[in-house]
Amino acid sequence: MGPTKIYMRLVSCLESFKRLLWDAIGAHLLKEWKYTEKENIVPVDETILPEILRIQAEGFDSKNEENLIKYAKKLRKIFYVVKNQDKIAGYCIYYLKPELSFKGLKKKSVVYSIAIDKKFREKGFGRKLLEESIKEMRLNGIDSILLYVNVNNASAIKLYEKMGFQIIKTIEEVCGQEATCYTMELKFAD
């Protein structure tokens, strides 16, 4: 085995170790998660998962279905579902992304996926989901929230900007193959 292959394996092992470490820190943060009262917003459970998967399939490619199922079990505390009467209007799921800095550990969260059922769009459900989850993120000491949005999704970008998110960079291949996305961030005051 040549030096290049050894180096590549070492880098791969270090990346795997880093992911495991951040997952462990994120799991620890979730153990002590504090909830806020949210009107018409409930945590995900297995009974509503098929409806969430249907909504997700309307707006995104289905390759993320496996991850949504996994996150529904693993990240239940930060997987929010908004209801309109007894119908699921949409969902928003986060994951925690701890980051080391010179000031210590920064707690960031990332919107993994947010989607509103086509029948409920333009009625304030996406805003309500974001507002309520942002309140809970603040309560739990999250420093900032990141999200990725397709540069062509003008209505979502407009909503995120109204909520205080700012575009921090452009990135390729995160929102799908050959798609360009913005990375947007909402920073909370220290």
Examine the domain organization and report whether 45 and 128 are in the same domain: yes
- Between residues 30 and 134, which one has the greater pLDDT? 134
pLDDT digits (tens, 9 = 90+) for 146-159: 999 989 999 899 99
Q: Which amino acid is at 4?
A: T
Based on the fold, state whether residues 23 and 52 are members of the same structural domain.
Answer: no
Count Cα atoms within 13 angstroms, Cβ side, for 186.
22
Please identify which residue in the block is written with the tokens 């945590």: 43
Percent of the chain clearing pLDDT 70 (strictly above): 85
Whole-number pLDDT of residue 14: 63
Q: What is the band of 20 on the pLDDT scale with cuts at 50, 70, 90?
A: low
Three-state DSSP class for 71? helix
pTM: 0.79
pLDDT of residue 38: 80
Same domain, 23 and 114: no
Same domain flag for 48 and 9: no
Residue 151 and residue 95 share a domain: yes
> Would you say residue 140 has pLDDT above 70?
yes
Digit-coded pLDDT (tens) for 41-68: 888 888 888 888 888 888 776 567 787 7
The tokens for 179 are 């798609």
pLDDT at 24: 59
Same domain? 183 vs 139: yes
Query: Sheet of 41-43: strands edge to edge?
Result: 41-43, 79-84, 87-101, 104-116, 144-150, 180-187, 166-172
pLDDT at 63: 62
| Residue 138 neighbours by CB distance under 10 Å | 14
Would you state the pLDDT for residue 55?
87
Q: Are residues 10 and 96 in the same domain?
A: no
- Predicted confidence at residue 190, as pLDDT, reads 59
Q: Is pLDDT larger for residue 15 or for residue 162?
A: 162
Quote the domain boundaries for residue 7: 1-32
DSSP H or E run through 58: helix 49-59
The single-letter DSSP state of residue 97 is E
Specify whether 123 is located in the same domain as 39. yes
The pLDDT value given to residue 19 = 59
Taking alpha carbons only, the member of 29, 127, 120, 119 closest to residue 80 is 127
Contact 68, 113 (CB under 8 A): yes
Q: Which has the higher per-residue pLDDT, 160 or 9?
A: 160
Average pLDDT over residues 133-144: 90
The letter for the amino acid at 22 is W
Residues 20, 99, single domain; the answer is no
For 16-57, give the DSSP string. HHHHHHHHHHHHHHHHTPPP---TTEEE--TTTHHHHHHHHH
First to last CA, the chain: 49
Q: Taking 90 as the threshold, does the pLDDT of residue 96 lie above it?
A: no
| Structural domain count of the chain | 2
**Do 77 and 140 fall into the same domain?**
yes
Q: Is the pLDDT of residue 18 over 60?
A: no
**Residue 120 or residue 176, greater confidence:** 120
